[in-house]
Amino acid sequence: MATSGTIQEAIRTGYRMQIAWTVDSQSVANNTSSVTAKVQLVSTGSSYTINSSATKSGSLTINGTKYTFTFSAALSGNQTKTIFQKTVTVSHASDGSKTCAFSATAGINVTLSGTYYGNVTASGNGTFDTIARASTISSVTASVAINGTNECAVSISRKSSAFTHTVVWKLGSYSKTTTGAGTSATYAIPLSWINAMPSATTGTGTVTVTTYNGSTKIGSAVSKSFKVTVPASVVPTISAVSLSEAVSGLSAQFGAYVQNKSQLAVSVTAAGVYSSTIKAYKTTIDGANYTAKSFTSGVLKNSGSRTVTITVTDTRGRTATTTRTVNVTDYAAPKITLFNAYRVNAAGEEDYNGTFVKCLYAWAVSPVGNKNANAYVFERKLKTETEWEAVASGNAYTFNSNRVFTQTFSTESSYDLRLSITDYFGAVRASAEIPTAFTLIDFNASGKGVAFGKVSEVENGMEIDMPLSINQYVYMGGVKKSNEEKDIYFQTTGDAPNVHNCKLYGASGDSVTSIGCWDTARSHGIWRYLTGTQNLVFDANVKVTRANGGDEFITSKAVTHGSRTGRAQFSNGLLIQWGVETITPVKDTPTAKAVTFPVSYTSVPMVLTSAITTVPGSSVTGNAPANITVTGFDAYVTRNGTTNTSVGWVAIGYKA
């Protein structure tokens, strides 16, 4: 690099032409140089002269621009003669460097020592001093955890000590500008800048440095990025959790939560921080998860101090958790554990012919802090009547005793005796039968009835109140006397805790069924045996299980099926569902379609997918399930085009 130079071209011995250039000045602001170039004829000795009075012509090209001129070729010995001079402004490259091209042609058109010379040309380059340009960023803090005090520092490499810089830190719509910086600058990123990342915990900021010489901008601004992170302490907030009794009347009655009866009305108030929002709620109560902001829980199945755990997740994926404790008071439905009755005499001694009744009983009612209702009543009625008569009543949470009722019971009639226990939520009953007085054989006054072991009460029929042993065959309807249906009934009283009313029937001769069992109380079949096909058939309303819930594969619901779709649920909880979805893929991109299960699972199932295609591995390069929940999943397919693609799926899981 230089501020001047000479480009020479020899004409012959003693003569040359040259271009002498000089950088007169440089403008930092404009990134230019003022350059003067002279075209000269030079004599290198006293004897080397040129005698010529004619006007000649020539040209000078500086940095690509050509200038023409005229001159006289006359030259004295040892003379350096300037035949043309031009001053121009030359622009430098963006980095401030410049190599300038010079060329000159002079038509001297003279004869020297017998040789004619016409045009003489000289050309070459001049490298100017570099003009200081825009500064560069030598380093910037790689990562800043935003907490209001952590700084982002930038180091600046400047080309001139006279330069200053404007530094701008920027993240999203937030920015900070510092002016007059020298070789470095720092800025503590404020917490408010986290607002620029409502859905992320990291982001990318930029530092931009602009160079100035005084008030003049030098070159172009330069930038570098830096990473910003949201501190782990920035999490959503749970400001309030409302828990209250959801079942009407319980709070007023008990002032407490009641096991197996209370439900919680839950409302969660939560908010994101620094522009995040709450995207998910999770409340865990007695092992069950609820995902709504406000909801009513299932019944509280466990007593004692119960922990309610509330977790919220914001759009940054950050969570906040809090707990609440609810105290659940023990409760179980009223239970009668003992209820027997028999005839006694006036002294309270057991007597088949006694006219009094002695009752043995035991029951329990949950006190629920002594706020539960409790009442008992003993009632009787004639076996043949429908109206009940109270014989004793009172209040007690528990009782385990016996009593002889003051009322008399005719030995000529049988009675139903009933105990009812009532609390706030309902009642439970137990019953017993008081037979007539014992007599081995008693004939009814109608002449059409007979009883064994009791007094006859049925005018037209037989009653047996003794153990019965039969040593020969019993034929319903007699010995093949008709083809009509023959029935045997198994019944409880209508007020029994578990009412049973079933019949075992021998079907008519016109039916393919030979024997079956019918639920009379609910009017549907239980099972039947088909003689011809030797099939044992279970009714569709019956759930068949082993040991109250085994592992056998017996469907508990109707199998639903269609063309490549359907479902089947088994009595042990196994639920299998299948189907086909059509997906229009984005070329060479995994493309998803949301699939909703026809029946929701209790726990997350296993899901398998398969693309239905003749071009697997070539056009169709992949398929898979993702985001599997109890209610559905996303079916993905990848294809090298946009042709509609069928994806079959199978889900296997548990349904309570």
pLDDT digits (tens, 9 = 90+) for 240-264: 999 999 999 999 999 999 999 999 9
Residues 46 and 146 in one domain: no
User: pLDDT, tens digit, for every residue of 34-52?
Assistant: 999 999 999 999 999 999 9
Contact 211, 163 (CB under 8 A): yes
- Least Cα distance to 370 among 428, 319, 330 occurs for 330
Q: What share of the chain is helix, strand, coil (3-state, %, to 5)?
A: 0, 55, 40
- Write down the residue that tokens 């299998």 correspond to: 576
CB atoms within 10 A of CB 432: 19
295 lies in the same domain as 342: no
Residue 10 lies in a domain: yes
With respect to residue 413, please indicate whether it lies within any of the assigned structural domains: yes
Amino acid in position 24: D
Neighbours of 473 (CB within 10 A): 6
User: 267 and 342 share a domain?
Assistant: no
pLDDT tens profile 141-165:
999 999 999 999 999 999 889 899 9
Q: Flag whether pLDDT at 585 surpasses 70.
A: yes
Please say whether the beta carbons of 318 and 234 come within 8 A: yes
Residue 389 in tokens: 């008569």
Q: Does a structural domain hold residue 440?
A: no
Residues 324 and 339 occupy one common structural domain? no
Closest CA to 419 of 330, 357, 372, 367: 357
Statement to judge: residues 9 and 85 lie in one domain: yes
Range of the domain at 413: 335-434
Please state whether beta strands 461-464 and 449-452 pair in parallel, antiparallel, or not at all (unpaired): parallel
> What is the tens place of the pLDDT at every residue in 64-81?
999 999 999 999 999 999
Q: How many helices and strands, by DSSP H and E, does the chain display?
A: 1, 47
Q: Which pLDDT does position 482 carry in this prediction? A: 78
At 282, give phi and psi (nearest 5°). -145, 120
Cα atoms in the 13 Å half-sphere on the side-chain side of 205: 33
**Angle at CA 615, nearest 5°, toward 609 and 618?**
100
Does pLDDT of 293 surpass 90?
A: yes
Nearest by Cα to 127 from 41, 226, 7, 27: 7
CA 187 – CA 228 distance, rounded (Å) = 13
What ranges in 61-208 are assigned the alpha helix state H?
A: none
* CA 425 – CA 410 distance, rounded (Å): 36
pLDDT at 551: 47
| Sheet containing strand 151-157, strands side by side | 136-140, 151-157, 184-188
Q: Give the type of residue at 64.
A: G
- Predicted pLDDT at 316: 97
Residue 454 neighbours by CB distance under 10 Å: 21
Task: Look at residue 370 and tell me if it is in a domain.
Answer: yes
Please count the other Cβ atoms lying within 10 Å of the Cβ belonging to residue 185.
23
Q: Count the neighbouring beta carbons within 10 Å of the beta carbon of residue 427.
A: 14
Confidence of residue 556 (pLDDT cuts 50, 70, 90): low
Q: Is the pTM of this model over 0.75?
A: no
Residue 546 has pLDDT above 70, yes or no: no
Q: Which of 289, 306, 329 is the last residue of a domain?
A: 329
534 pLDDT higher than 90: no
And the tokens for 83? 């035949």
Position 646 scores a pLDDT of 95
Q: Which of 127, 146, 161 is the last residue of a domain?
A: 127
101 has pLDDT over 90: yes
DSSP result, 307-359: EEEEEEEETTS-EEEEEEEEEEE-----EEEEEEEEEE-TTS-B-TT-SEEEE
Relative to beta strand 513-519, strand 501-506 is antiparallel
Structural domain contains residue 552: no
Structural domain count of the chain: 6
For residues 645 and 536, membership in a common domain is answered with no
| Statement: residue 84 has pLDDT above 60 | yes
Beta strands in 486-569 (DSSP E): 486-491, 501-506, 513-519, 524-530, 535-538, 560-561, 566-569
Tell me the average pLDDT across 577-592. Answer: 95
Starting from the edge strand earliest in sequence, which strands make up the sheet with 461-464, in order?
Answer: 441-443, 449-452, 461-464
56 and 89 belong to one structural domain: yes
Which of residues 278, 306, 329 is at a domain's end?
Answer: 329
pLDDT at 547 over 80: no
36 belongs to a structural domain: yes
- Residue 487: what pLDDT? 84
In the sheet that holds 99-112, the strands lie side by side as 65-72, 55-62, 99-112, 115-127
**Residue 389 to residues 378, 385, 581: CA-CA distances in angstroms?**
8, 11, 67
The per-residue pLDDT for 544 is 67
The answer to whether the beta carbons of residues 222 and 137 sit under 8 Å apart is yes
pLDDT of residue 14: 95
CB 297 within 8 A of CB 255: no
- Do 90 and 61 fall into the same domain? yes
Q: Any idea what the CATH number is for the domain that residue 212 is in?
A: 2.60.40.10
Kindly state whether residues 222 and 275 are assigned to the same domain: no
The one-letter amino acid code at 404 reads V
Which residues are bridge partners to 40 per DSSP? 18, 82
**What are the structure tokens assigned to 81, written together?**
């003669």
**Residue 316: Cβ-neighbour burial (10 angstroms; 0-12, 13-18, 19+):** buried
Residue with tokens 């012509």: 57
Which residues have CB under 8 Å from 55's CB, separation 6+?
70, 71, 72
The mean pLDDT value of the chain amounts to 92
Q: How confident is the model at residue 281 (pLDDT cuts 50, 70, 90)?
A: very high
- C-alpha 281/C-alpha 273 separation (Å) is 16
The pLDDT score that the predictor gives to residue 522 is 84
Closest CA to 89 of 65, 111, 112: 65
- Classify 497 as helix, strand or coil: coil
For the sheet with 15-27, list strands across it: 4-12, 15-27, 32-43, 80-91
d(CA 469, CA 490): 19
What is the sign, positive or negative, of the torsion defined by CA atoms of 608, 612, 617, 623? Answer: negative
For 600-654, the pLDDT digits (tens) are 999 999 999 999 999 999 999 999 999 999 999 999 999 999 999 999 999 999 9
CATH number at residue 387: 2.60.40.730
Q: 597 is written with which tokens?
A: 């299960």
Say if residue 114 is in the same domain as residue 52: yes
Same domain, 364 and 297: no
Report d(CA 125, CA 101) in Å as an integer.
4
Residue 465 in any domain: the answer is no
Over residues 463-475, mean pLDDT: 84
Q: How far apart are CA 472 and CA 479, in angstroms?
A: 13
Asked whether residue 549 is assigned to any structural domain, the reply reads no
**Claim to verify: residue 306 and residue 397 sit in the same structural domain:** no
The CATH number of whichever domain residue 625 belongs to comes to 2.60.40.3940
Region 91-104 average pLDDT: 92
| Contact (Cβ atoms closer than 8 angstroms) between residue 234 and residue 194 | yes
Q: 336 is written with which tokens?
A: 């009668």
